[in-house]
Structure 1
Amino acid sequence: MPHLAQHAYGATPQTVRSARDFAMRALDSWGGCGRRDDIRTCVSELAGNAVRHGTPNGHDYLLRLIQHPHCLHVEVHDSAPHSRVRIPPASPNGEAGRGMHIVQELGDDWGVRALTGTDKAVWVCFRRPESLIARCSCTS
């Protein structure tokens, strides 16, 4: 049976650290994880994107972690009026625009799914190192 942890946050930059800390506490309560640094980084990127791009008019965003037998599914729900996430080309001298590149590289699978209305969930999955499954099966 999967474990679930979730928490809603206001759309301020200070909440990114709170979201990251919440995720690490959840992992610890479930017995830890060998990919802790990758997960922490991706939670930071997804929460930061929700604050910057996905929570218009002061709406909250939701961080949800679901631990399945073979992988950990991390998702951030926001209220952006679009269901696509664009990965812009990274500029060597740019100070922004690398977040989804990082998520794509650190996670084993990622994507976007539409929720009710205009809400969306951006998710990333991390296979357990001992898992023999080639792809994550926790895309919902």
Structure 2
Amino acid sequence: MTAPTEPLHHDRVEYTPLPQNVTRARHRAQRLIRLWGHPELAEKTALLVSELGGNAVFHGTLRGRLFRVELFLTEKALRIEVTDARGELLPTPRTAAPEECFGRGLLIVEETSDRWGVSELIVGKTVWCELDTA
């Protein structure tokens, strides 16, 4: 699915690249999906925003550049998009060693969402995932 042209609901917020803003984005997304009538997706939404937002903060930001979290709810799916400024660093899932603290986020996204991918931009990239609502 490409970004919907006429979603039932849409939210877009830009954040400074600080870890506490990943928490803010997660809480906002979880609250909105409940308000939009899909409380059954709230926990998955929170997890996905946290993983993608954390990746944006730790791997995708440049000094003075924000990261953006967008939610699109259509009749068939919730689409989560996280955009950052580092388009040269495209994410790929990997297998982390047992002693590593990081490196499992995209595997979590892959297992939790119904679809995910990356859209390259002129400046930066958008990592997106979708949860089916039907």
Q: TM-score, normalised by structure 2?
A: 0.89
Which residue in the other structure is 2:96 paired with? 90
1:70-91 CA deviation, whole Å, 9 max, x = no partner? 1100010100032621222221
Find out whether 1:58 has 2:64 as its counterpart.
yes
Find out whether 1:13 has 2:8 as its counterpart.
no
Partner of 2:39, secondary structure, is coil
Q: CA deviation at 1:25?
A: 2.2
> 2:46 corresponds to which letter in structure 1?
R
Partner of 2:93, secondary structure, is coil
State the 4+ residue runs in structure 1 displaced beyond 3 angstroms.
Answer: none
Q: TM-score, normalised by structure 1?
A: 0.86
Residue range with higher mean Cα deviation, 69-78 or 31-40: 31-40
Q: Identity percentage over the alignment?
A: 35
Q: Distance in 2 between matches of 1:91 and 1:83?
A: 21
Find out whether 1:127 has 2:132 as its counterpart.
yes
Find out whether 1:118 has 2:118 as its counterpart.
no
User: Which of 21, 33, 50 is the aligned partner of 1:44?
Assistant: 50
1:85-110 CA deviation, whole Å, 9 max, x = no partner? 12222212211000111000000000
Q: Give the RMSD, CA atoms, in angstroms.
A: 1.3
